[in-house]
């Protein structure tokens, strides 16, 4: 009997120790997460080196040894001249902006541009690789304002759209000095949209009444649970028209040659048609543009990376595990079907 209690005591002590250790680890993680929640860092990488590493693999296999040796010699001379300060190559700062409905990348964009403004001159250039479907007006308006900061300092701004610059995305793109789009990218959607479900009839059928108290005539217009009137809808439409007018004015300020009546209809076009309408300046991809710039420029990719919180890390781990499980299930199903055939 004493042995049983001894073993039970040891088991209980081990369990308590393990639980305490886990709690301590979680506590440190939460504390560090809260402490560095607003912290992050700016990373700057040379794209010249990146592209050079990619092409060097092919050069070593394709070029004759004599030609490869001569090229390496010329490269060393170029690097020596650059280190001595005799190189007059301009700098191109590259920013990537992948938008969502909340324009979440604005937090990093404002830091990236602030850092660039501390160094860049009108002789340099900023290239933004933009992929943005649009979303909330105020968030995308702020993103566009960040790009306008470069224009105000007379630093050349080029926006390149490989996939999508629609609605709020085009609000950002239109402020560029030079707007480049891939032939099959989606451009435009210059319009404003608001929609909200209304459950008033459904609730009324089930005997549920929703009371809403307000001070100020337009403190609340259309609602999800209350009864919406024609006056409420008219007020929201008026607000949408006002935003649309400001959107059109922004485009007109930076692309005055555009026929606003033609393009501000909410429609979107593919890149080639957008060029004909004047929505973009030229067709091309970011890869071609940067490869051409490498010939006479030093390219630097600038990115702000915020510190991940414990919650975001756990979410990423859960998402990764779920994705892995789905891939495994799909692969198993595929193997079964393939084997059955």
Q: What is the DSSP string of 28-58?
A: HHHHHHHHTTT-EEEEEEEHHHHHHHHHHHH
Task: Please check the confidence at residue 10 and state whether its pLDDT lies above 90.
Answer: no
Alpha-carbon span 309 to 30, nearest angstrom: 8
Q: Number of C-alpha atoms within 13 angstroms, CB side, residue 192?
A: 18
More confident residue, 304 or 63: 304
Q: How far is residue 50 from each of residues 53, 275, 294, 301, measured CA to CA in Å?
A: 5, 31, 11, 10
Q: Domain coordinates of the chain in residue numbers?
A: 191-255
Task: Please check the confidence at residue 273 and state whether its pLDDT lies above 60.
Answer: yes
pLDDT digits (tens, 9 = 90+) for 219-256: 888 999 988 889 999 999 999 999 999 999 999 999 99
Contact predicate 233/157, CB 8 Å: no
| β-pair type (40-46, 297-306) | antiparallel
pLDDT of residue 61: 72
pLDDT digits (tens, 9 = 90+) for 121-161: 999 999 999 999 999 999 999 999 999 999 999 999 999 99
303: left (phi over 0), alpha (psi -120 to 50) or beta: beta
Alpha-carbon span 132 to 9, nearest angstrom: 61
Q: pLDDT-based confidence at 211, cuts 50/70/90?
A: confident
Task: Please check the confidence at residue 31 and state whether its pLDDT lies above 80.
Answer: no
| β-pair type (90-98, 125-132) | parallel
More confident residue, 68 or 162: 162
pTM tops 0.95: no
Alpha-carbon span 144 to 187, nearest angstrom: 16
pLDDT of residue 56: 75
pLDDT of residue 53: 77
pLDDT of residue 113: 97
Please confirm, yes or no, whether 114 is among the known catalytic residues: no
Task: Please check the confidence at residue 63 and state whether its pLDDT lies above 90.
Answer: no
Measure the CA dihedral 93/99/103/104, to 10°.
Answer: -80
Please confirm, yes or no, whether 315 is among the known catalytic residues: no
Contact predicate 103/168, CB 8 Å: yes
pLDDT digits (tens, 9 = 90+) for 183-199: 999 999 999 999 999 99
Task: Please check the confidence at residue 30 and state whether its pLDDT lies above 90.
Answer: no
- Catalytic entry in 104, 114, 167, 315: 167
Task: Please check the confidence at residue 336 and state whether its pLDDT lies above 70.
Answer: no
> What is the residue-averaged pLDDT of the chain?
84
- Catalytic entry in 65, 66, 214, 219: 219
Contact predicate 135/171, CB 8 Å: no
Lowest mean pLDDT among 160-169, 178-187, 195-204: 195-204
| Close Cβ partners of 125 (under 8 Å, ≥ 6 residues apart) | 90, 91, 92, 93, 155, 156, 157, 158, 293, 297
Q: pLDDT-based confidence at 262, cuts 50/70/90?
A: very high
Tokens at 88, concatenated: 């007059």
Among 24-28, 46-50, 288-292, name the most confident range.
288-292
The span from the first CA to the last CA of the chain, in angstroms, equals: 63
pLDDT of residue 36: 47
């Amino acid at each position: 009997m004493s042995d049983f209690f001894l073993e039970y005591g040891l088991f209980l002590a081990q369990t308590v120790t393990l639980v305490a250790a886990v709690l301590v680890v979680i506590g440190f993680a939460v504390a560090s997460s809260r402490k560095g929640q607003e912290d992050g860092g700016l990373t700057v990488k040379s794209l010249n080196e990146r592209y050079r590493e990619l092409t060097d693999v092919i050069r070593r296999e394709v070029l004759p040894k004599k030609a490869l040796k001569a090229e390496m010699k010329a490269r060393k001379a170029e690097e020596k001249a650059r280190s001595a300060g005799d190189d007059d190559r301009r700098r191109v700062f590259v920013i990537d902006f992948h938008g969502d409905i909340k324009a979440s990348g604005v937090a990093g964009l404002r830091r990236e541009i602030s850092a660039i403004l501390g160094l860049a001159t009108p002789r340099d250039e900023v290239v933004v690789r933009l992929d943005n479907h649009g979303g909330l007006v105020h968030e995308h308006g702020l993103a566009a304002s960040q790009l306008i900061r470069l224009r105000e300092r007379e630093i050349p701004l080029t926006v390149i759209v490989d996939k999508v610059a629609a609605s709020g995305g085009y609000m950002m793109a239109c402020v560029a000095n030079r707007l480049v789009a891939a032939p099959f990218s989606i451009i435009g959607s210059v319009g404003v949209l608001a929609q909200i479900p209304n459950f008033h009839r459904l609730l009324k059928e089930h005997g549920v009444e929703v009371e809403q108290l307000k001070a100020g005539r337009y403190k609340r217009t259309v609602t999800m649970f209350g009864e919406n009137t024609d006056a409420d809808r008219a007020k929201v439409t008026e607000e949408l028209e006002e935003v649309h007018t400001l959107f059109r004015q922004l485009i007109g300020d930076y692309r005055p040659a555009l026929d606003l009546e033609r393009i501000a209809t909410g429609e979107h076009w593919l890149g080639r048609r957008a060029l004909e309408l004047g929505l973009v300046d030229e067709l091309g991809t970011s890869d071609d543009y940067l490869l051409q710039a490498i010939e006479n420029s030093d390219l630097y990719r600038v990115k702000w990376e915020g510190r991940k919180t414990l919650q975001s890390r756990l979410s990423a781990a859960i998402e990764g595990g779920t994705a892995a499980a789905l891939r495994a299930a799909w692969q198993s199903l595929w193997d079964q079907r393939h084997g059955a055939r």
